[in-house]
Amino acid sequence: MRHRTVGDLMTPTAVSVRPGTTFKEIARLLDEYDITAVPVVDDGGRPVGVVSEADLLRKQTSGDVGSTAGDVMTSPAVVAEPEWNAVRAARTMEGRKVKRLPVVDVEGRLIGVISRGDLVKLFLRQDHAIQEEILEDVIVRTLRLPPSSLTVEVTDGRVTLSGSLERRSLLPVTARLCEGVDGVVDVVNRLGYDRDDTTGEATVRPS
């Protein structure tokens, strides 16, 4: 089961500025590209900070609009790597209180930007796409069961599982696998089991 990564979700070839870029030029770029922040890179293309609309507004309020990117940027830049999963990117944003992360390659050079909006797209997946992934990847490939063995219903990202598994120990495992599918908001586990293998005894659940 392959989850989409930061590299899949980011906006590539991100707009960037240099530390010496002027206040007015930064404002023009934000407006032209309809973005709310821009990475600041050094001569090697490595992010050294980020300038956001909020940074510009703070300077404008103080009456100082002659500043450069190096003067107003938030530094150091908090960056992500393309192989990160969405959860790691989201937790980094939350932990560092930022709304976007420059994405860098193995040499630390800017290759894109991922924003909260990009991560939200994960939860805009169509229900049928989520259902198909659960049936194919979780039930068939991972659990090695026929696709008709369980019923999977998906409504607005909420997955409801019903049917019966052979062993009780598989119930929480199956639910966790479904929770890990991109776009899943919640999992309602209504699965039953034929044999309780959690007690060390061959207890068969009565029908």
Predicted pLDDT at 105: 97
- For residues 48 and 20, is the Cβ–Cβ distance under 8 A? no
Average pLDDT, the chain: 90
Concatenated DSSP letters of the chain: -PPPBHHHHSEES---B-TT-BHHHHHHHHHHTT-SEEEEE-TTS-EEEEEEHHHHHHHHHTT----BHHHH-BSSPP-B-TT-BHHHHHHHHHHHT-SEEEEE-TTS-EEEEEEHHHHHGGGG--HHHHHHHIIIIIIIIIS---GGGEEEEEETTEEEEEEEEEETTHHHHHHHHHHTSTT--EEEEEEEEEEE-SSSS-EEPP-
Q: Are residues 110 and 157 in the same domain?
A: no
The pair of three-digit structure tokens given for residue 29, joined into one six-digit string: 């770029």
Convert the pLDDT of each residue in 104-121 to its tens digit.
999 999 999 999 989 888
Q: Are residues 112 and 161 in the same domain?
A: no
Q: Which of 122, 153, 186 is the last residue of a domain?
A: 122
Convert the pLDDT of each residue in 30-52 to its tens digit.
999 999 999 999 999 999 999 99
Predicted pLDDT at 1: 56
* Residue among 178, 186, 170, 192 nearest 132 (CA): 178
Predicted pLDDT at 198: 86
Residue range of the domain that includes 36: 6-122
Whether 196 is in a domain gets the answer: yes
Whether the link from the prior residue into 206 is cis, omega within 30° of 0, is no
Tell me the whole-structure pTM to 2 decimals: 0.68
Q: Are residues 136 and 67 in the same domain?
A: no
Query: In which band, very low, low, confident or very high, does the pLDDT at 58 lie, cut at 50, 70 and 90?
Result: confident
Predicted pLDDT at 45: 96
For residue 194, the domain's CATH number is 3.30.1340
- Percent of the chain having pLDDT more than 70? 94
Q: Which of 87, 122, 157 is the last residue of a domain?
A: 122
Q: Looking at the predicted structure, is the pLDDT value of residue 174 above 70? A: yes
Whether 1 is in a domain gets the answer: no
Q: Looking at the predicted structure, is the pLDDT value of residue 18 above 60? A: yes
Predicted pLDDT at 205: 54
Predicted pLDDT at 183: 87
Q: Are residues 102 and 58 in the same domain?
A: yes
Q: Are residues 192 and 143 in the same domain?
A: yes
Convert the pLDDT of each residue in 78-97 to its tens digit.
999 999 988 889 889 999 99
Q: Are residues 53 and 140 in the same domain?
A: no
Q: Which of 103, 122, 141 is the last residue of a domain?
A: 122
Predicted pLDDT at 207: 42
Q: How many domains does the chain have?
A: 2
Q: Looking at the predicted structure, is the pLDDT value of residue 21 above 60? A: yes
